[in-house]
A and B are shown apart, each in its own frame.
Chain A
């Protein structure tokens, strides 16, 4: 059978009727609503998260649309200034707490960590399900606060405005974020224990896929940083509800203390968002350049390095808030230090690409987009880490552009790369190769149009969160809004072709990308317990050069590449032809 990717049109013909009854997999093992709502299967919980965060992504996107449309005119095009405040707060809260933080850990982490390390499930399946319910409870409260009129404080919730002055629905929103934080802790704890204790025989730390390393570092931050923001948000609620408080300057409290405690979580939290994306990129870049990763240990340990150093630089958000000059100096230095492990990753990815047999399928396009956009986002971060330039650039659109390059250009790209890479495994269906490539290119182009102008106007002094601006900035804001429209169309396209692939897409083979990880040794979609027998791992995670998977068997023919090292060196294995389900040897 020919490889079912590449030459297909947008909507491929329905698959031929199946002669055998479908083998039991995690999707057809029960169809009732209760079989989903009470499931403890990590794969189904991953799908629950996927559906939920997709909804929140759309909600946050609509709020972003309101913000961008309003900025078309210098004095506000569509909404009042008060509504504008509520729109950008809704955008920030939705995207950060209910999309970016759970995006990769709770969807792909839940789904693939057990499969990648050869386990049947996460260590605590019931805790995993509980995390989804807690997450949804928090999300419903946050959405209710938006629908009831919104919050106008910005997602950073600085007191005393958020506790005394703001007339908006701060309490339900803050309680929602507080509650959803516990789901983040539960996911992190579960993944960390699973990686420590549930690895298959032979899956040593040095053979873990880099995605697993990245998620380990992420879980460390989720575990150790989230409790601090939880107590901080609780104090905000107490302060607002009771009229007493710890950050209230009228009773001797210090609002700067809130900023310290808030950023002690919220700065490491940006590494919760970006590290999993980096993990996805490490998987995809190696697979689609058919090369072993360059510098495995450097990439693995740089994830841990980012997690650890990430805890030590929160106060660079507060350079103009009145902190000590010497503290600022130290935090400036430490902020630059985190660029080192990030750069190590980028250099190793580039070296991996060098002289690889690169094929440009959608996951690869998203990953290459990630690398380019992350470099820009990362380097502009250094401008902001530098004390002198930060005084000039602080709270301007330069900052907005910087963190959107990292968060959207980095993390959302990584999320889409992962979604396209693992979609055949999760659903058992191939999506349209052509349309997915087009979508990737549209998203990257739209992204550049949206955020490059913001660097310019930010450098020239347009502050963030202001609804009004001088006339000379209008052309750049129009460009930015136009780019956001392209970006919006780009984000809608995957929703269409991925949904269509569920009904019309050709059946995915077990290993459509000819990848080496253990997750590709399960059938697509995976069976209920992932592996019939516990797999035995015999080699590293990226043996593309000799063309063997982690169980030491030959890889199938890679898509779009003529040269298969496995065939050249005469290695064959039970993996065999692409369309057969693989057996798992014990």
Chain B
């Protein structure tokens, strides 16, 4: 079964969107806004202040009451789109698609279409301005030898990153194959500009040799943005590639994290049955969750600089 997890618009969703520590690179925005959206859709939500009520966790409502199954797809939670309120030309719509590790690269053509369609439907629009793709295993500072970035381990370690190794970065040919899919979207006018994430100078150079439509954007995670290596800045300028900042981790949804969020543990949503949860009368789903991809979308009202809509979809396969 396919699971489609959604956050809805997280902009007015409260503290889940606020990062607490500077230079924190994390997926907490995704995970906490998923949790918050689930909670909001459960009719009797677990008390958020778990510290005081840990003695007797409240029973969670059956997941069927707040999710929706269509054919072989389960929407978690039940979802209906929130179209943008102003005419299309008022917006700058950016979509970032995270391809995940351990997913065969040849499925990406389909995944990309699917992700774009979800976002278009969500925002009630027919095109996006910028599509950035993030390939598994690429991490900017490790890749670029000229980089004088500090050691990545000095960032607050995120336990999820360690639990699910990103694996080695893909070779340029595989990346380029995926890119050709995006070039088609670009040709069709569905996407005006394409972008990549975390490419260092040498990778970028090799990549440009392989592609027809050049990326307009290279998104870089910068804990301290003033330390981007000069050669990269010059190279990007020369090729008219904008270097944009972001704050996501590359492996945005490790397998364990998803199981945590959906599981039957104290902080789980109670969709998946736990290991020793056999007394459940089949009320919960069983099987192995395999994260497939994650997409983040942001719609900004251009001439006001206001983020009207931002959210995530995460898709996983449940194999039982």
Are A and B a genuine interacting pair, yes or no? no
**Interface of B toward A, CB cutoff 8 Å:** none
